[in-house]
Structure 1
Amino acid sequence: MTAGTRPPRPAARRPRALRRFGRNRLSLLGAGLVALVLALALFGPLLAPYPAHVAGGIDTAARFQPPSAAHPFGTNELGQDVLSLTLAGARASVLAGFSVVLIGGTTGILIGGIAGFLGGWIDEILMRLTDLMLIVPNLILAMTVAAVLGPGFQNMVLALALGWWPGYARLLRGEVLAARERPHVTAARAMGASQARVLVRHILPDCVSPVIVKMSLDMGFAILMVAGLGFIGIGVRPPVPEWGTMLATARAYMPDMWWVAMAPGLAIFVAVFGFNLLGDGLRDSLDPRGGR
């Protein structure tokens, strides 16, 4: 490769990555599970067989009914259909997880990209701030912020995103440091390209793949963290159904009324498992050394 030759752009590597992804059965399983979770997040409330229960309606005469044809996952302490609440709860859980990853990822990408590209004292300050944020465990920080701000969807997302960005900042800084020394970037600078053009056109496209992989893996962890905050009572406020909040209520009736916890627990497992499989598949497919 000559000094001015640019390596294949991400778009040129895409067909090969798709072929590698399609040959991996676990990756396809993960993609299918993620598609199912996303479909439930979009249409779950519409698919709920008892929409009145989703809106907060109760039926005390039907409380704690075991799984049956009328209620495949039974009913809870208020007589509400557990399946309906689980289907509707997918929207809050997945939307919260997506918001955390999007806000935290975007913030980290900006900080890491600026630090790696500009270097010098700016890099030093931003990375020391990142190190400071990494000292505090993410869940502890989120619990503290959420407890101060109070329960609620927005506060929960903000609390989690506040501790989510340092990982992306570290990742982007390393990718930018490696990309800015490549021959095609040096050639672009020699031809008089501006700093902004070099960053946007020649460096960031080479950093997309690891960001996509990390975001797909983080989605499962974010949904799990959202459920964790809901479980300890500082997540989404009732009567909005959310998987973690449903599990928190169900634990008081375990193990006798086991079915109350089965549906939300299974939903969390499927979501986390699916996003982890998808992330692993994307990592193997987008790795430029994977086909060698």
Structure 2
Amino acid sequence: MSDVTLLRRDTSARREMWARAFYRFRQSLLSVVGLALVLALVLIALLAPWIVPYPEHVAGATDTAARFIAPGRAYWFGTNALGQDMFSLVVAGSRVSLFSGLAVVAISIVVGGIVGAIAGYFGGWLDEALMRLTDLLLTIPSLILAMAVAAALGSGIGNMIIAISITWWPAYARLIRGEVMVKREEQFVTAARALGAGSARILGRHILPNIVSPVVVKASLDMGFAILTVASLGFVGIGVKPPTPEWGTLLSIARSYMPDYWWTALFPGFAIFTAVLAFNLLGDGLRDVLDPRARR
């Protein structure tokens, strides 16, 4: 059988696999809704600088003559104590919240992937040392540890992302370690080793590409909780500082004016709720597609 025929069959098999995966995904209405919401949130975050009606309010400008105006035609989400348009702040805050959550998950996957892959493949004392460090971090509540690290590093988006990432990578290290330990015993790894492939090549070309599915599922589910953690740090005052708009910070400021000026808290809170719900629905759909063991 020629190489061209084998290539065509492989391509056809891959297309059929993706077609079946897409069919399973769209069978779940909630998963499709989650994907639509995620795409909408990402689009809003990308276009935020061009769609906010009051960009000067995002930059920190105030208008005390327009303090606490209820939602209406001029201000869709009302205004806050400084006369700033809440719709502009919530839309602009989506950039910080969504991209901070994405950065946290990405850093956690990279760090946890390196630690987990090394521990799972080589085993022995290296595995013991790395996993004991991982277990130590897992024993501390992630939010408490993130708050402590963020307070030590100081305020700022970069420090906040680092603080949360420190508490999140151990979970990925454990997941990837377990998957690597299973895959390293497979016949294709034994064959690659017999052909003289080095450890780095075996990990990078043979093992890691075959454990992408559970990592993608966990990452999609974690995105919502990462956004919630970012908002939590902002809410307690050790995350992003004003005038940079961020959902948790907006919610923290608004609590002083509840319940009289309810709209200042309602819309940032609803944005957090929508983002967390969207990524959880998407994660459930991806789990059904990529993890047959967990399929409903």
More off after superposition, 128-137 vs 198-207: 198-207
State, as a whole percentage, how many aligned pairs show the same letter. Answer: 60
| Alpha-carbon distance in structure 1 between the residues aligned to 2:74 and 2:290 | 46
Question: 2:80 — aligned with what?
Answer: 76
Unaligned stretches of 5+ in structure 2? 1-9
Question: 1:48 — aligned with what?
Answer: 52
Question: 2:63 — aligned with what?
Answer: 59
Report the residue type matching 1:137 in the other structure: P
Aligned with 2:276 (options 255, 272, 279): 272
Query: Is the CA contact (8 Å cut-off) linking 1:63 and 1:75 kept in structure 2?
Result: yes
| Alpha-carbon distance in structure 1 between the residues aligned to 2:44 and 2:105 | 19
Question: 1:32 — aligned with what?
Answer: 36
What are the equivalent positions in structure 2 for 1:146-157 lying under 5 Å apart? 146-157=150-161
1:114 aligns with 2:118: yes
| Aligned partner of residue 136 in structure 1, secondary structure | coil
CA apart distance, 1:289: 4.7
CA apart distance, 1:99: 1.0
Per-residue CA distance 1:74-118 (angstroms, 9 max, x = gap): 110011110010000101111111111111121001100110011
| Alpha-carbon distance in structure 2 between the residues aligned to 1:215 and 1:162 | 16
| Aligned partner of residue 97 in structure 2, secondary structure | helix
| Alpha-carbon distance in structure 2 between the residues aligned to 1:165 and 1:194 | 26
What are the equivalent positions in structure 2 for 1:117-266 lying under 5 Å apart? 117-266=121-270
- How many pairs are equivalent? 285
CA RMSD of aligned residues (A): 1.8
| Alpha-carbon distance in structure 2 between the residues aligned to 1:244 and 1:290 | 33
| Alpha-carbon distance in structure 1 between the residues aligned to 2:295 and 2:232 | 39
Query: Is the CA contact (8 Å cut-off) linking 1:229 and 1:235 kept in structure 2?
Result: yes
CA apart distance, 1:290: 6.8
Report the residue type matching 2:252 in the other structure: A
CA apart distance, 1:51: 1.1
| Aligned partner of residue 76 in structure 1, secondary structure | coil
More off after superposition, 66-75 vs 183-192: 183-192
Per-residue CA distance 1:197-233 (angstroms, 9 max, x = gap): 2212211111100111111111100000000000010
CA apart distance, 1:148: 1.2
Query: Is the CA contact (8 Å cut-off) linking 2:156 and 2:239 kept in structure 1?
Result: yes
Relative contact order higher in (CA < 8 Å, ≥ 6 apart): 1
Question: 2:25 — aligned with what?
Answer: 21
Unaligned stretches of 5+ in structure 1? 1-7
CA apart distance, 1:119: 0.8
| Alpha-carbon distance in structure 2 between the residues aligned to 1:291 and 1:81 | 44
CA apart distance, 1:55: 1.2
Question: 2:4 — aligned with what?
Answer: none
| Alpha-carbon distance in structure 1 between the residues aligned to 2:228 and 2:124 | 37
TM-score (norm 2): 0.92
| Alpha-carbon distance in structure 1 between the residues aligned to 2:248 and 2:157 | 13
Report the residue type matching 1:201 in the other structure: R
CA apart distance, 1:282: 0.4
| Alpha-carbon distance in structure 2 between the residues aligned to 1:195 and 1:155 | 34
Query: Is the CA contact (8 Å cut-off) linking 2:108 and 2:166 kept in structure 1?
Result: yes
Query: Is the CA contact (8 Å cut-off) linking 1:73 and 1:262 kept in structure 2?
Result: no
| Alpha-carbon distance in structure 2 between the residues aligned to 1:289 and 1:229 | 35
1:283 aligns with 2:284: no
What are the equivalent positions in structure 2 for 1:72-111 lying under 5 Å apart? 72-111=76-115
| Alpha-carbon distance in structure 1 between the residues aligned to 2:14 and 2:63 | 55
Query: Is the CA contact (8 Å cut-off) linking 1:111 and 1:169 kept in structure 2?
Result: yes
Distance of aligned partners of 1:169 and 1:199 in 2 relative to their CA distance in 1, 3 Å threshold: same
Question: 1:3 — aligned with what?
Answer: none
CA apart distance, 1:16: 2.4
